[in-house]
Amino acid sequence: MSERLTASAIVAGVRAGTLSAVDVLEQHLAAIDGRETEVHAFNLVMADSARARAAEIDAAVAAGHDPGPLAGVPVALKDNMCTRGVPTTCSSKILEGWKPPYDGTVVSMLRNAGAITVGKTNLDEFAMGSSTENSAFGPTRNPLDTSRVPGGSSGGSAAAVAAGFAALSFGSDTGGSIRQPAALCGVVGVKPTYGRVSRYGLVAFASSLDQIGPFTQTVADAALALQVICGHDPMDSTSIPESVPVYSAALDRGVEGLRVGRIRDLPEGADADVAERVEQAFDALAAAGAMIVDVEVPAFTYGLTAYYIIAPAEASSNLARYDGVRYGMRVDAADTDSMYMATRSAGFGDEVKRRIMLGTYALSAGYYDAYYGKALRIRRLMADDFARAYEHADVLLTPTSPSVAFPFGAKTDSPLTMYLCDTYTIPTNLTGEPAISVPFGSGAYGLPVGVQVLAPSLGEPVMLQVAAELERAAGGLS
Amino acid sequence: MSDALWELDGYEMVVGLEVHVELATNTKLFSSSPNRFGDEPNTNIDPVTLGLPGALPVLNRHAVELALRIGLSLNCTVQACTFARKNYFYPDMPKAYQISQYDQPLNVDGWLDLPDGTRIGIERAHMEEDAGKSSHAGGDGRVHGADYSLIDLNRAGVPLVEIVSRPDLRSPEQARQYVTELRGILLAIGASDAKMEEGSMRVDANVSVRRAGAEYGTRCEIKNVNSVRSVGRAIEYEAKRQILMLDAGESVRQQTRHWDEGDGRTHTLRDKENSDDYRYFLEPDLVPVEPSQEWIDQVRAALPVLPAVRRARLAEAAGVAPDSELIMSIVDRRQDQYALAVQAAGGDVGRAVVYIKEAFAELGPEPTLPAADVAALTRLEVEGALTATQAKSVLAELVARGGGDAAAIAAERGFAAMDTSELAGFVDAAIAADPEAWAKFCAGEGKAMGALVGHIMKASKGQADGKLVTTILNARKS
Amino acid sequence: MSERLTSDAVAKVARLARLDLTPDEIRLATEQLGDMLDHFADIDALDLSGIAPMTQPYRLVNVMREDVEMACLDRDEVLAAAPQPEAGRFRVPPTTGLEL
């Protein structure tokens, strides 16, 4: 773990020819060799193909070719991103061994940018969870304290960056699945604006909420990663056809004169250590010249309910395709209908089944209006509330997670307890707006605390601007 | 049963048709693999068609344009529309949901006029995707008793428009006319090849019966009606089945029934009481379609003249009823323009339509035979220079040669209009040759005339004018 | 939505979702889903009349592609990943009893 190189430093060195992509990779593979058994960040480590790719990058540099904006950066991909010919499991038995016949858009973009994929990371099955305890292949451990969870659902990707297995990694965020594990593992995690990053090739959990984003060591790395993966994709009908600004330009602007909103009616529930760090974050921004303003987002408190109706509803439909007919697992039976039942019952874990049932119920005849229809209206309410808040503030600041990393099993007894982990992250998935979690000091047990910066749609620049200031301030924390 | 008003024991049938047509696009509704009938199984496949994890639909603009053409041709109101997921499990439905239009279809509230003038309401004409094909192996090759099924997904995702009529049809004949007329429109506007035998046009019939003027009865939906003829047969069978039940004091159960072409009956497929719960919800992977007025106007302006208008035009020119078989068949063959061209070339359009109907079946919508040559022939006949029989013979030669001087051909064949005295001689000879037939004819047996005409035609080597022969025979009788 | 979720309703939902649950699993699911629905009752008091549903976060319309054919997936590669390929097709057990 000594001398960790940021992705930005790797790119600079590899492109200048002062660093070898092969050497950088070997350093990361050595870290994997050292601790992966303990951490279990990966479902698959791709050492051979990574070595071949790193050699190609070095050769390209030697030949004077442009090796791309992520040249030589070892990256890890959440195992719900389709990689051609490479198993993509979603940490589910139902997809065990399945090799997609195509690459997702982000996967292609990263390869074309010169990134080197070191492996596919573990997750809560089909991204449903907040601790990575719901993986069919066993949990990932938090590299900072292996008796604790890394958060979830992108726990493997968060752990991979925290443990030095990859210089940066990618996850998906449906209700906080990037930001919460980033907070728990002490790294930066971004959920971009819905539609900013293509979902083509991301195995869907909840289509109107899912968004791919990076885990990084620094805010500058986040800007670099976003620069590569953001942009319009004609393969995704919900992709925003707007040009992408230069994100790194926002990093050194400072926060002088920016309005940072404090949500007065934010739902309670954050632990004291977390709340204290968030207060210090407000103070730090104020000290740097920002104005702290009070705003209200009354619908915030209903986010959890709306989310836990909408996300399962979409999931119940998205996961219906796992039927044992065309790919993945099949449990044979005397007729097709029995085969469906046997396959899906054996292939899905408990949490996935629970959410499929919840979503099926919320959409079913007689209940649609009471649940799904109502949840969609709360979603509108939420978007309107945030829009009003952003009339007074440029960004909003909240905790990312109510607590620091918790021990295994601490929240598995009741699904609801686990769902409460997502209280502060969910609203921006419902509205589609971007948010970032930045490490900001430590809390109980010396574990990291994440602070969340929220911005309006396509407000990534101002979000990064504030995040960079918090990162600078965090350096001076006790 | 050919009457438009069908009645049995005081019951009236009430029929609405749901017609699915496959659109004549190059590619599928939501993906770019080919929309092509008859290819090797599972060759026209892509991630979307297969319902692979991570695949996303993107709407085919040309499919929307063809759907617009259909809507405008059926006098529908075009509106902003959305797509929804219809969730159900079936092995030829790869995602386990069909993307269809539910509460916001593209086209609503139109109508179609039958050739006899009856106006049939169109409730909606919406876009949706087709399913794949299951073939049942082993057993007797049908669903029930098969050992297993094989799934081909070439057809999955092919664009469909479902045209739903209001329950305005009242007889098997009207239903046949509706399907025929609709098919003519679809062909005319190039929306579909509308081949019932290949399944690119499929009809489901909703049938109920009631006492005239009473409330609508319970309806049954009849599936698998694969030809215009079976539309009539299936509806008639089903209405009679329902009447028998009602007369026996039973009530009709709401069912989906299957038409069996072999035994000419409908069979229960399933009861609708435990009706499916399709859990429709808006497709989050697609965005609304709001056709601009400009686009609608463009599509409307580019529509060809529809069959009904063409029939009316030709019927008026020829002085025949627009729903006469003569007019119907010529417009069906799209040779009405040709008939009008004969008229424009100075021909008699009344004779021209007869010629075209009888001799042009193989010539297609744009016969190469010069209209002026046919016009000349009609004049020879109308002026009495040729008998109808002689004209027919010359016409056959014109068709065979691809044109020519009708008068010259007539001369080559030695045709000259036979004078009445020559004909009278043939009539005398016929009476002498077959006194028995003559006696019967005089006694009022009309059929006996055939034998006498036969003698005359034989003696005149087919040159006698049939109409004149009839006149002479009738005159002799009295 | 105040009435308590019944195990019959849960069994029906499991059936709709093609999940085969044991009686014990049904019991547990009834309890857990019931707890969630109780928690969701916080929205019962909200007056949502006049508020339009929001189905997508970022409003786009008329996203369409041109009707141009692109390369298909390789059938052999696709069928190699299938549980039971046969004669270029996906084989499934008899479909008896399935709703068409």
**Å between B74 CA and nearest CA of chain C:** 23
Q: What pLDDT score does B222 carry?
A: 96
Contact B281 A363 (CB under 8 A): yes
- Give tens-digit pLDDT for B264-280: 999 988 876 556 799 99
Residue A146 has pLDDT above 60, yes or no: yes
Residues 76-95 of A with CB under 8 A from B: 81-82, 88, 90, 95
Give the length of chain C. 100
Nearest to C81 among A99, A241, A332 (CB): A99
Comparing alpha-carbon positions, the chain C residue that sits nearest to B24 is C67
Residues 11-30 of C with CB under 8 A from A: 12-14, 16-21, 29
Alpha-carbon dihedral sign for residues C65, C68, C70, C76 = positive
Contact A334 C35 (CB under 8 A): no
- Whole-number average pLDDT of chain B: 91
| Distances B48 to A89, B51, B57, C73 between C-alpha atoms, Å | 19, 5, 6, 10
Averaged pLDDT for residues B34-61: 97
Residue B476 binned pLDDT confidence (cut-offs 50, 70, 90): confident
Residues of chain B neighbouring A207 (CB-CB closer than 8 A): 284-285
Tokens, residue A204: 């869907």
| C35–chain A Cβ distance below 8 A for any pair | yes
Q: In angstroms, how far is the first alpha carbon of chain C from the final one?
A: 32
Contact C16 B277 (CB under 8 A): yes
Q: Which residues contact B228 (CB under 8 A, 6 or more apart)?
A: B176, B179, B180, B183, B196
Tokens, residue B140: 């007797």
Q: Predicted ipTM?
A: 0.97
| C42–chain A Cβ distance below 8 A for any pair | yes
Beta strands in A375-447 (DSSP E): 395-399, 435-442
Nearest to C88 among B32, B42, B61 (CB): B42
Residues of chain A neighbouring C1 (CB-CB closer than 8 A): 367, 370-371
Tokens, residue B116: 């006899």
Q: What pLDDT score does C4 carry?
A: 81
**Å between C13 CA and nearest CA of chain B:** 10
Q: What pLDDT score does A1 carry?
A: 39
Q: What pLDDT score does C2 carry?
A: 44
The answer to whether A159 touches A185, Cβ cutoff 8 Å, is: yes
Contact B58 A364 (CB under 8 A): no
Beta strands in A287-390 (DSSP E): 291-295
- Give tens-digit pLDDT for C54-69: 999 999 999 999 999 9
As a whole-number percent, the residues of chain B with pLDDT over 70 amount to: 95
Q: What is the dihedral of CA A329, C87, B152, B26, to 10 degrees?
A: 120
Between B119 and A366, the higher pLDDT residue: B119
Please say if A147 is a catalytic residue: no
Residues of chain B neighbouring A238 (CB-CB closer than 8 A): 284-285, 287
Averaged pLDDT for residues A140-162: 98
Q: Which of B347, B396, B355 is nearest to B376 (CA)?
A: B347
Residue A196 identity? R
Q: What pLDDT score does B446 carry?
A: 79
Q: Which residues contact A352 (CB under 8 A, 6 or more apart)?
A: A92, A125, A126, A128, A134, A319
| B147–chain A Cβ distance below 8 A for any pair | no
Residue B140 has pLDDT above 80, yes or no: no
Residue B443 identity? A
Comparing alpha-carbon positions, the chain A residue that sits nearest to B85 is A317
Beta bridge partners of B163: B19, B125
Indicate which of C30, C36, C48, C63 best probes the interface with A, i.e. most A CBs within 10 Å of its own CB: C36
Beta strands in A81-202 (DSSP E): 116-121, 168-172, 188-191
Nearest to C68 among B27, B135, B150 (CB): B27
Nearest to C55 among B60, B282, B290 (CB): B282
Residue C100 has pLDDT above 70, yes or no: no
| Distances A439 to A110, A145, A182, A217 between C-alpha atoms, Å | 25, 16, 8, 9
Residue B133 has pLDDT above 80, yes or no: yes
Between A55 and B213, the higher pLDDT residue: A55
The answer to whether B448 touches B440, Cβ cutoff 8 Å, is: yes
Nearest to A357 among C10, C35, C60 (CB): C10
- Give tens-digit pLDDT for B231-269: 999 999 999 999 999 999 999 999 999 999 899 999 988
Averaged pLDDT for residues A160-177: 98
Averaged pLDDT for residues B326-344: 93
Contact C94 A325 (CB under 8 A): no
Indicate which of B46, B144, B150, B155 best probes the interface with C, i.e. most C CBs within 10 Å of its own CB: B150
Q: Which of B64, B307, B350 is nearest to B181 (CA)?
A: B307
As a whole-number percent, the residues of chain B with pLDDT over 90 amount to: 72
Residues of chain C neighbouring B223 (CB-CB closer than 8 A): 100
Comparing alpha-carbon positions, the chain C residue that sits nearest to A457 is C58
| Distances A421 to A175, A268, A320, A395, B93 between C-alpha atoms, Å | 10, 12, 27, 22, 37
Q: What pLDDT score does B178 carry?
A: 97
Indicate which residue of A20, A130, A131, A153 is catalytic: A153
Contact A193 C40 (CB under 8 A): no
Q: Which of C78, C67, A238, C64 is nearest to B33 (CA)?
A: C67
How far apart, in whole angstroms, are the C-alpha atoms of residue B269 and residue A231?
50
Helix/strand/coil for B208: strand
Comparing alpha-carbon positions, the chain B residue that sits nearest to A201 is B54
Please say if A120 is a catalytic residue: no
How far apart, in whole angstroms, are the C-alpha atoms of residue A204 and residue B56?
9
Please say if A93 is a catalytic residue: no
Q: For residue A137, how many other CB atoms are within 10 A of its CB? A: 19
Contact A104 B91 (CB under 8 A): no
Q: Which residues contact A428 (CB under 8 A, 6 or more apart)?
A: A191, A434, A435, A454
Beta bridge partners of C90: B151, C85
Averaged pLDDT for residues B285-312: 97
Q: Which of A120-124, B2-6, B127-131 has the lowest mean pLDDT?
A: B2-6
**How do beta strands B148-152 and B107-113 pair?**
unpaired
Contact A340 C58 (CB under 8 A): no
Indicate which of A358, A368, A458 best probes the interface with C, i.e. most C CBs within 10 Å of its own CB: A358
How far apart, in whole angstroms, are the C-alpha atoms of residue B52 and residue A323?
12
Contact C93 A332 (CB under 8 A): yes
How far apart, in whole angstroms, are the C-alpha atoms of residue B210 and residue B43?
49
Residues of chain B neighbouring A323 (CB-CB closer than 8 A): 89, 91, 96
Tokens, residue A275: 């709340």
Indicate which residue of A20, A130, A154, A177 is catalytic: A177
Averaged pLDDT for residues B102-122: 96
Residues of chain B neighbouring A325 (CB-CB closer than 8 A): 91, 94, 151
**Å between B155 CA and nearest CA of chain A:** 15
Contact C58 A238 (CB under 8 A): yes
Residue B8 has pLDDT above 90, yes or no: no
Q: What pLDDT score does A110 carry?
A: 98
- Give tens-digit pLDDT for C12-44: 999 999 999 999 999 999 999 999 999 998 888
Residue C3 binned pLDDT confidence (cut-offs 50, 70, 90): low
Q: What pLDDT score does B420 carry?
A: 66
DSSP symbol at A372: I
Tokens, residue A261: 């909103």
The pTM of this model reads 0.91
> What subunits touch chain C, counting only 3 or more CB pairs under 8 A?
A, B
Beta bridge partners of B15: B169, B207
**Å between B328 CA and nearest CA of chain A:** 45
Q: What pLDDT score does C72 carry?
A: 97
Indicate which of C13, C66, C89 best probes the interface with A, i.e. most A CBs within 10 Å of its own CB: C13
Residue B385 binned pLDDT confidence (cut-offs 50, 70, 90): confident
Q: What pLDDT score does B1 carry?
A: 42
Between A82 and B10, the higher pLDDT residue: A82
Helix/strand/coil for A168: strand
